[in-house]
Chains A and B, each alone.
Chain A
Amino acid sequence: MKKGNGGITVRQKHSAYAKEDNIWGYLFISMAVIVFCVFTMYPIVNACIISMQKYNPIQSKWVGLDNYNGLLTDKLFFKSIRNTVVYTVLTVPVNIAISFILAILIFPFKKWMQTTFKAIYYLPAVASGVSLSVVWLWIYSSLPSGLFNQLIGIFGLESQNWLGQSKTAMFSLVLMSWLSSHGTNVIIYIAALLGIPKDHFEAAEIDSATFFQKVHYIVLPMVKPTTLFLFVTGIISSFQVFMNAYLMTAGGPDNNTTMVGLLIFNNAFKYSEFGKASAQALILAVAIAVISLLQFKFMGDEIEY
């Protein structure tokens, strides 16, 4: 064994450096761990405890699984789950498809043009959700002066109460998502497209592949990890949708746009039933986790990140 200064072996010297590096490493991650524990783990643990209480700011009462049992017979809870699933099924795949198509269309442009389009599509994500909802409320106004009613009026159709009728209320929220939620997805897809080796396309050109064949046989398989990621994150955020329903329809009409997120909010802050709200939130969290796991299992078999 080669010896360094002071009789310390090289291996011992490297081991000392490694230990010192380890200490610094732990110190650096400790900050993130502390923040995670304080702002994520502690609220989750607290929510679990509150979900088994009839919560009161002065003195809570332990009720065990009563809050969970109550949910089994709560028709509104099941309706909200149904509404949330419908909203998710209608928005997530369509939004991903629209984002993918936009990314494919933007991709051939020069870099400065790509950047311009990315910025334009990302603008709604930067704008305040409340401001967006106020604008959409005007667009969906039930009066003939509402923008959509003016548009359909051109075709001789009657003004609609877009947010006040069951047949159009959910569609109105879905349409709002279709038209304004693509910025992040487009940017991620373009980054994925940039990662596809050019020689694949050259080989396809040699084989006289058409545009759609290139997309089908090269692009789609190569961006599959990105698609899976966007599906998982899209479903997670769509299951937690709250602001649109809260600001635009307040869950109506007839609770047909009451999502689970809005129901949790109402139970917590309108009725001060924090125990019930916590139970609903935990069930939602478990549902999201299970769906994400299933997605990774069925869609992510061949994918490695």
Chain B
Amino acid sequence: MKKHVNLLSLVLVMIMAATMLNGCGKEATPTVNSSAAPSSIAPEEPDTIKALLPPISNQFIERLDKVQAAFHKQYPNLTLVIEAASWNDRIEKLDTQVNAGTPPDIAFLGSELIAKYVNMGVAMNITKYATADMISDYDAAPLKYMKNGDGLYGLPAYMEIHGIGGNKEYMEAAGIDWKKIQTKGWTFEEFDAAVKKGAGVKGANSTSKYGLVFATAGTTTKNFIEIFAKNAGMPSEFNSDIKYVYTSKKFLNVLTSASKLIADGANMNATAGERWNLFLTGQTMFTGKGLATFESSAKANNAKLKAKDGSAVAGSVPVDYVVMPVPTSNGASPAYYSVVDGYVTFRGKTAPTEVHMKNVVKASYFLASGENAAQTNADLFAVNITKTARDAESKYPIEREADNLASVKYLMANAAPARPEIPSDKQAKGTKIMDEVIIPKFQALLAKEISPQTMYDAVYEAAVAAFGKDGIVKD
């Protein structure tokens, strides 16, 4: 009896211990994927492509099943398996899978992260697998962002330009010629003068409290640096000689500009949520950064207010969102900060087969072009960057102000160019300086704890340590 009790207890303990190994199992259905042994598969044999995607638009997640079904219909031998991730944890999820040696075949990422994965050796070069038709479908500028060196590491989904958002009513009340600025740009001095005028402007339903609210709390801290530095004569972290540019006095001017805006009444401490809330409640004339999709969000809130819908933002008033360019400084030409997000391709520890790589490219192209892209970009108010998406966009019309559309076209025409020739290891060092020096010091600058000169000196010192005295710009 005692033996039976002991045996039963032992079995129960083993079951409990085995449950801890639950998460360690491999896929139930063996499929050919990027981490499988490189056995050759015929082009028409079944293949599975795994993609890790965030909710690219609010409606995208709802369409996932349809997207997968449509892909399977177009390629009956291929199955697209989409793993959904949140915006917050998609990088951690991806990195965990990358470091385990089994990344997804495709992940939706910003193009600025391609260098990191190229450096790790896990980004998959699809240059020879993307057909000429696929390549010619894309606009040249966004496609270049998906390159690193001579390799193409994915296909772009959209190109978004970061700007400033303006409250039309307040700008008109303050006498600002926003229509002209939308397509001609403006200097920092003009922008600063507008910000000064922006506090205390009376509208029909509200009075502005701030001239500018710029989100710099948490992960948004680097937005200001990135978008203003580009338009201050530093369109990239590295110049044409691949020297680090944030050691230039132009960068010191950007930092001084930030201090000036704060002194002139701008709120530079808000989070992204607070920034948008303050705009919708009519408390600020300008908001930064501004994205095209904000126009959609403002219109949606206006509609709710009109319908007396209780889900409208509490305390909000009807606002007309105006796309405004980031001002230029240092006499520089505009070089607007472009964000190109797209479907980046990966490989695991075991090299994928040629056929599998072609299939991965087919899946990337399916997601990043045609109707899929047109529908997603319509959700985001983003301009389509492929011919096939532009052909399909009439099916997904968006109500957009003509002035804003004209401004977006102006911004895209003057977007900062991609720099795929910058070596990935230098980009990695630049990223580290941004994260460990520039962002923390900028937070202290915004809190008025250090001066622009102190911050500049710290960046200079870090840049010399990383790139050597010959690797930096010296004015």
Interface residues of A (CB under 8 A from B): 24, 27-28, 31-32, 34-35, 39, 55-59, 76, 137, 141-143, 161, 163-166, 250-255, 258, 266, 269-272, 274
Contact = CB atoms under 8 A, between A and B. Distances in A.
Contacts of A274: 99
A254 B443 CA distance: 6
Interface in B422-467: 428, 431-432, 435-436, 439-441, 443-444, 446-447, 449-450
B440 A252 contact: yes
A254 B447 CA distance: 10
B121 A266 contact: no
Interface string B117-152: 001111000000000000000000000000000000
Contacts of A165: 447, 449
Interface stretch (B10-18, B296-304, B321-329): B10-18
Contacts of A270: 435
A137 B270 CA distance: 12
B20 A39 contact: yes
A252 B221 contact: yes
Contacts of B436: 76, 255
Contacts of A76: 436
A163 B217 contact: yes
B217 A254 contact: no
A253 B122 contact: no
Contact of B441 (A31, A35, A59, A254): A254
Contacts of B121: 56-59
A266 B432 CA distance: 10
Contacts of A271: 428, 431-432, 435
B269 interface: yes
Interface in B82-101: 91-92, 95, 98-101
A28 B9 contact: yes
A58 B100 CA distance: 10
Contact of A31 (B13, B92, B101, B348): B13
Given A57-B100, A251-B440, 11 more contacts: A24-B10, A28-B13, A31-B16, A55-B99, A56-B121, A76-B436, A141-B274, A161-B447, A252-B221, A252-B439, A266-B435
A76 to B, nearest CB: 6
Given A39-B20, A142-B270, A272-B99, A250 B13 contact: no
Contacts of A32: 17
B284 to A, nearest CB: 12
B17 A35 contact: yes
Given A39-B20, A271-B432, A253 B120 contact: no
Contact of B17 (A31, A59, A253, A258): A31
Contacts of A142: 217, 269-270
B123 to A, nearest CB: 11
Given A34-B17, A59-B121, A272-B120, A253 B432 contact: no
Interface of B: 6, 9-10, 13-14, 16-17, 20, 91-92, 95, 98-101, 116, 119-122, 217-219, 221, 269-271, 274, 278, 348-349, 428, 431-432, 435-436, 439-441, 443-444, 446-447, 449-450
Nearest to A251: B440
Nearest to A141: B274
Given A57-B349, A164-B269, A254 B432 contact: no
Given A35-B20, A164-B269, A250-B218, A27 B449 contact: no
5 contacts: A24-B10, A31-B13, A35-B17, A164-B446, A254-B444
Given A143-B274, A272-B116, A253 B20 contact: no
Top 8 closest A-B pairs, CB basis? A253-B443, A254-B444, A252-B443, A58-B121, A165-B447, A142-B269, A255-B440, A254-B440
A56 B99 CA distance: 8
A57 B435 CA distance: 23
A27 B99 CA distance: 35
A254 to B, nearest CB: 4
A57 B101 contact: yes
A35 B120 CA distance: 32
B107 to A, nearest CB: 14
Given A57-B101, A166-B447, A269-B92, A161 B269 contact: yes
A101 to B, nearest CB: 35
Given A166-B447, A253-B447, A31 B217 contact: no
Contacts of B443: 164, 252-254
Given A57-B120, A250-B218, A251-B440, A166 B20 contact: no
B14 A166 contact: no
Given A56-B121, A57-B99, A271-B431, A164 B217 contact: yes
Contacts of A163: 217
Contacts of B91: 269
A57 B98 contact: yes
Given A76-B436, A255-B440, A166 B449 contact: yes
Contacts of B13: 28, 31
Q: Which of B217, B270, B435 has most chain A Cβ within 10 Å?
A: B217
A33 B407 CA distance: 66
A254 B92 contact: no
A31 B120 contact: no
B444 A253 contact: yes
Contacts of A59: 121
Q: Which of B219, B348, B444 has most chain A Cβ within 10 Å?
A: B444
A150 to B, nearest CB: 15
A141 B432 CA distance: 28
A271 B269 CA distance: 26
Contacts of B439: 252
Contacts of A252: 221, 439-440, 443-444
A31 to B, nearest CB: 5
Contacts of A266: 435
A58 B10 contact: no
Contacts of A31: 10, 13-14, 16-17
Contacts of B122: 57-58
A137 B349 CA distance: 41
B92 to A, nearest CB: 6
B22 to A, nearest CB: 13
A148 to B, nearest CB: 14
A193 B101 CA distance: 52
Q: Which of B10, B101, B269, B446 has most chain A Cβ within 10 Å?
A: B269
A250 B99 CA distance: 23
Contact of A269 (B95, B348, B431): B95
Q: Which of A252, A255, A258 has most chain B Cβ within 10 Å?
A: A252
Contacts of A253: 440, 443-444, 446-447, 449
B451 to A, nearest CB: 13
Contacts of B450: 254
B21 to A, nearest CB: 8
A190 B152 CA distance: 64
A58 to B, nearest CB: 4
